[in-house]
Amino acid sequence: MKSWTIMNSLIELISNTDDFLLQSIEANIVATYIILFLIIFLESGVILFPFLPGDGLLFSVGVVATITPLDIYIILPLLMISAIAGFIVNYKSGSVFGKWIIQKKYSSINIAYDNTRDFMSKHGKTAVVLSRFFPIIRTYLPFAAGIVHMKYDVFLKQTILGAVIWVSLFVCSGYFLGEVPWVKENYGLIFLGLIILTIIPLLVQMLKGLVKFISKKFNV
């Protein structure tokens, strides 16, 4: 029964984020802060939760903060810390997993490892920051960085920078635009647009990968 309740809550959170936040704040504002912290932490730090809302949730938090007791001065540092902590835990998990991968002799695993290591050595600093703005990617990239043992001090610096920009941009956008009548009237459309815009780059890359695979497989 508890698992079913949690699942219903997650569905409500993803499909009706603003309503979920309003109800949660009305019920217990302290619990709401904890829930928001955990959602951002899990999406950033555990590879099993890439489906949790990120960009849209942050924007919603900003909008809701204009009409509820939700304190923007608590939310901003709280969610920044959550995002940073998530990436660090994800990196550490990948680092442990990476040691296991290195011990294996499977060629496909070694090729993937080498490709990931080359990518992170060339583009790692930029990728860690930009990954914040792409759903799913931001859940897996810090794990990959840990697997190939990207320099931790560099990773941490870029993680902090990315988290500060990401949280500030979306929360403040929602906070300052939330009072605009058009935004209020079309909030659902804006939320959907944010999801589409952040997923499009990922879909494009997946399509490119599929085309490349088909071309190689069938010598097209």
Select the more confidently predicted residue: 108 or 26: 26
Please check the confidence at residue 4 and state whether its pLDDT lies above 60: no
133 CB neighbour count, 10 Å cutoff: 18
On whether the CB atoms of residues 168 and 76 are closer than 8 A, the answer is: yes
pLDDT digits (tens, 9 = 90+) for 117-166: 788 888 888 889 988 988 888 898 999 899 888 999 999 999 999 999 99
Residue 123 lies in domain: 2-218
| Rounded average pLDDT over 64-82 | 93
Percent pLDDT > 90 in the chain is 31
DSSP 74-106: HHHHHHHHHHHHHHHHHHHHHHHHHHHHHH---
Q: Which helix (H) or strand (E) holds 132?
A: none
**What does pLDDT average to over the chain?**
79
- Whether the Cβ atoms of residue 69 and residue 26 lie closer than 8 Å to each other: no
Position 100, amino acid: W
Encode pLDDT of 154-187 as tens digits: 999 999 999 999 999 999 988 888 666 666 566 5
Query: 58 Cβ partners below 8 Å, 6+ apart?
Result: 40, 79, 166, 167, 170, 171, 174
Counting the structural domains of the chain, the total is: 1
* Entry pTM: 0.78
- Which amino acid does the sequence have at 9? S
3-class secondary structure, 213: helix
Residue that has been written with the tokens 């490892």 in this structure: 113
Q: What was the pLDDT predicted at 154?
A: 93
**176: its two tokens:** 């300052």
Report the distance separating Cα 146 and Cα 149, nearest Å.
5
DSSP state of 29: H
